[in-house]
């Protein structure tokens, strides 16, 4: 029997597997968990070390070609934990302590970040993300990273976090030994992590805002990716659905290139990038910036007096005014009473419907007048076949009886600003985030009671019960309104009215449960108001009043005279 020799492939395989395991063990960054000591510690802490290879080597010995260790440090207060790396002296991660992701994980507002300052060192352009900051100065809520090359050129990053604050102060200092240092650009690019249950809503509310005046801000497109160049902004905000990262500098930003990019997969929400050109300080070589890692809470943002509150999309003009001066003060007051947010929304719905009662009553009385006149309108429609003559006769009837044909619609104009304002307010309110009510475990997103396991076009992959109840209440209220009003003028409108609840159902199924719940309450209260108003209207008495109005001598309006002129010319 022939003796088998050693199988060289076997040993090669073992060697490769061993090498891969060693490489993985050396280069893996462990997924760090937040422990109680980190959460309660405010002083800087050194964390996990990691051996890595440097990215570049250059003739100025900016990086030594040898294995180096990444050291992580952190500073924190009662609101946030910020982690830094000695590689690039960069922000590595930011955690908001008081908030959690939709799946109950620590909320990392910064996780995947490209943080880089570029400098010109004579004719060489260097990037701090490629530098190792070997000296680290630690103090209470303050940490400084220092890089020094062989020519004694020094770059120093100083971070300071105040207690009870979301503000991280960032100071960049440069000292030149025998080579001139000039800052060039600062790049701040991040992949926005999914923090909420509905990634599509999160994507549609994530973009970049920018301000020139500390009182308001402009916004890049929410729905389309793009790039924009702006000059001399005061602050830039990477805005998410409920959180924002703001970069502020009063006098150091010259030109800024902003860009947004949506990935093809759901790995992350969006990539937001800001590249700042820095104005050179030829006197002190000292640069001051502020980072704000903020929840988008209107009162908190407004307290900074920098226009940050514009990050909360309350609507423009009258819609924003309704939210700022009516809805938000009422919401904040009720919140101080310690009520469940579902009860707060119920009270808001009742108060707003009380405010709108008289316009609503006026609208329904006007519709009742049109209803009792319907037999006369039908008679005119039979008598006159010419559209202009028919319109003239109808207007003449309305004028004589004192009926305004638009009276049922005009009072609704008072309600529309409030309805639209609340359409903006509830989905943008971080106070409702992860707040439960009845079967909804989070009022800021949809309340699924049944998941299909597949998606229906335009509708979604679930049934939102509040959206369904809102739709049924809308149909009920519209059916009753149709009984009160007259469809003699535009009978086709009733079909349009019945299409509206279907459209609302398709839209609201994936929207905030708080908004669907409010509209459901509003429709039910409106229906009850209709019943009360209807009981107070005597059709016979109302018709008698309208007939008595015919006996009054009325002056023709200019519009009526113009209609009569047109009718005579067409004869």
* CA distances (Å), origin 238, targets 9, 80, 109, 259, 469: 53, 17, 10, 10, 36
Assigned domain for 285 exists: yes
Total residues belonging to the chain:
571
Instruction: Reply yes or no on whether the pLDDT at 189 is more than 50.
Output: yes
Assigned domain for 91 exists: yes
pLDDT band at 480 (very low <50, low <70, confident <90, very high): confident
Quote the CA–CA distance of 136 and 71 in Å, as a whole number: 10
Quote the CA–CA distance of 205 and 403 in Å, as a whole number: 46
To 10 degrees, the CA torsion angle through 249, 235, 431, 439?
A: -130
pLDDT band at 20 (very low <50, low <70, confident <90, very high): very low
Cβ-based neighbour number of residue 406 at 10 Å: 10
Cα dihedral across residues 508, 514, 519, 520: positive or negative: positive
pLDDT of 21 reads 40
CATH number, domain of 155, equals: 2.70.98.90
In the sheet that 112-121 helps form, which strands lie side by side, from edge to edge? 124-127, 112-121, 181-191, 271-278, 253-261, 226-231
Range of weakest confidence among 367-376, 445-454, 489-498: 489-498
Nearest Cα to Cα of residue 93 among 78, 115, 77, 118: 115
Quote the CA–CA distance of 149 and 180 in Å, as a whole number: 13
Which token pair is 269? 């929400």
Instruction: Reply yes or no on whether the pLDDT at 349 is more than 90.
Output: yes
H or E, element range at 236: strand 235-239
Assigned domain for 4 exists: no
Assigned domain for 338 exists: no
Instruction: Reply yes or no on whether the pLDDT at 511 is more than 60.
Output: yes
Quote the CA–CA distance of 570 and 246 in Å, as a whole number: 67
pLDDT of 259 reads 95
Are the beta carbons of 178 and 169 closer than 8 angstroms?
Answer: no
Assigned domain for 108 exists: yes
pLDDT of 413 reads 74
Range of the domain at 261: 41-312
Average pLDDT over residues 179-195: 88
With H, G, I as helix, E, B as strand and everything else as coil, classify residue 510.
Answer: coil
Assigned domain for 272 exists: yes
Quote the CA–CA distance of 558 and 556 in Å, as a whole number: 7
Instruction: Reply yes or no on whether the pLDDT at 63 is more than 80.
Output: no
Query: If you compute the radius of gyration of the chain from its CA atoms, what whole number of angstroms results?
Result: 33
Nearest Cα to Cα of residue 115 among 229, 273, 255: 273
For the chain, give the mean pLDDT: 81
478: CB partners within 8 A, 6+ apart = 497, 498, 500, 501
Nearest Cα to Cα of residue 431 among 349, 512, 321, 517: 512
pLDDT band at 34 (very low <50, low <70, confident <90, very high): very low
Quote the CA–CA distance of 429 and 199 in Å, as a whole number: 17
Q: Which residue has the higher pLDDT, 398 or 453?
A: 453
Quote the CA–CA distance of 294 and 96 in Å, as a whole number: 8
222: CB partners within 8 A, 6+ apart = 204, 205, 206, 207
Alpha helices, H only, 304-411: 317-322, 328-336, 341-355, 357-372, 374-383, 387-401
Are the beta carbons of 408 and 370 closer than 8 angstroms?
Answer: yes
With H, G, I as helix, E, B as strand and everything else as coil, classify residue 268.
Answer: coil
56: left (phi over 0), alpha (psi -120 to 50) or beta: beta
84: CB partners within 8 A, 6+ apart = 72, 73, 74, 75, 90, 91, 92, 143, 145, 159
Range of weakest confidence among 180-189, 252-261, 372-381, 487-496: 487-496
Instruction: Reply yes or no on whether the pLDDT at 504 is more than 90.
Output: no
Alpha helices, H only, 272-340: 298-303, 317-322, 328-336
Assigned domain for 291 exists: yes
With H, G, I as helix, E, B as strand and everything else as coil, classify residue 532.
Answer: helix
Residue with tokens 């076997």: 10
268-325 residue pLDDT tens: 999 999 999 988 776 778 889 999 999 999 999 999 999 999 999 998 888 889 999 9
pLDDT band at 15 (very low <50, low <70, confident <90, very high): very low
* Count of domains forming the chain: 1
Assigned domain for 50 exists: yes
120-168 residue pLDDT tens: 877 788 899 999 998 999 888 899 999 988 888 889 999 999 888 999 9
* CA distances (Å), origin 415, targets 316, 393, 486: 16, 32, 21
Are the beta carbons of 110 and 293 closer than 8 angstroms?
Answer: yes
């Amino acid at each position: 029997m022939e003796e088998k020799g050693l199988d060289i492939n076997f040993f090669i395989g073992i060697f490769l597997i061993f090498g891969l395991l060693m490489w993985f063990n050396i280069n893996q960054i462990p997924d760090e968990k937040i422990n109680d000591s980190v959460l309660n510690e405010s002083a800087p802490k050194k964390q996990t070390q990691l051996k890595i290879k440097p990215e570049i080597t250059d003739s100025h010995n900016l990086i030594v070609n040898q294995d180096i260790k990444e050291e992580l440090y952190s500073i924190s207060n009662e609101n946030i934990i910020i982690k830094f790396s000695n590689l690039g002296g960069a922000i590595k991660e930011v955690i908001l302590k008081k908030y959690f992701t939709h799946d109950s994980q620590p909320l990392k507002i910064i996780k995947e970040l490209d943080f880089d300052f570029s400098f010109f060192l004579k004719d060489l352009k260097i990037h701090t993300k490629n530098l190792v900051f070997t000296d680290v100065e630690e103090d209470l809520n303050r940490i400084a990273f220092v890089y020094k090359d062989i020519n004694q050129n020094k770059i120093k990053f100083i971070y300071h976090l105040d207690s009870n604050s979301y503000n991280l102060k960032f100071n960049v200092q440069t000292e030149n030994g025998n080579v001139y240092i000039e800052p060039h650009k600062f790049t701040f690019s991040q992949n926005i992590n999914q923090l909420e249950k509905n990634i599509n809503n999160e994507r549609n509310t994530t973009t970049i805002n920018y301000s020139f005046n500390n009182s308001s801000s402009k916004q890049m497109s929410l729905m389309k990716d793009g790039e924009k160049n702006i000059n001399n902004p005061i602050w830039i905000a990477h805005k998410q659905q409920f959180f924002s990262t703001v970069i502020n500098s009063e006098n150091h930003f010259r030109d800024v290139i902003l860009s947004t990019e949506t990935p093809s997969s759901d790995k992350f929400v969006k990539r937001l990038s800001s590249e700042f050109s820095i104005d050179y300080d030829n006197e002190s070589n000292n640069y001051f910036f502020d980072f704000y890692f903020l929840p988008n809470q209107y009162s908190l943002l407004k307290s900074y007096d920098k226009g940050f509150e514009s990050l909360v999309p309350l609507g423009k003009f009258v819609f924003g005014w309704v939210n700022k001066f009516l809805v938000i003060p009422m919401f904040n007051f009720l919140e101080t009473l310690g009520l469940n947010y579902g009860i707060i929304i119920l009270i808001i719905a009742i108060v707003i419907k009380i405010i709108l009662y008289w316009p609503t009553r006026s609208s329904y009385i006007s519709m009742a007048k049109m209803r009792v006149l319907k037999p006369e309108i039908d008679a005119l429609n039979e008598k006159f076949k010419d559209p202009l003559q028919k319109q003239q006769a109808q207007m003449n009837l309305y004028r004589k009886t004192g009926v305004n044909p638009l009276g049922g619609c005009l009072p609704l104009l008072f309600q529309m600003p409030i309805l639209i304002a609340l359409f903006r307010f509830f989905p943008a309110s971080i106070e409702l985030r992860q707040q439960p009510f009845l079967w909804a475990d989070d009022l800021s997103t949809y309340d699924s009671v049944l998941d299909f396991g597949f998606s229906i076009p335009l509708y979604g992959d679930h049934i939102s019960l509040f959206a369904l109840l809102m739709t049924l209440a809308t149909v009920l209220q519209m059916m009753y309104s149709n009984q009160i009003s007259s469809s003699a003028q535009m009978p086709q409108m009733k079909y349009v009215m019945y299409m509206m609840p279907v459209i609302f159902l398709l839209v609201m199924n994936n929207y905030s449960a708080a908004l669907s719940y409010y509209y459901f309450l509003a429709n039910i209260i409106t229906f009850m108001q209709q019943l009360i108003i209807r009981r107070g209207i005597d059709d016979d008495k109302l018709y008698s009043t309208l007939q008595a109005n015919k006996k009054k001598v009325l002056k023709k309006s200019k519009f009526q005279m113009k209609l009569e002129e047109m009718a005579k010319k067409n004869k």
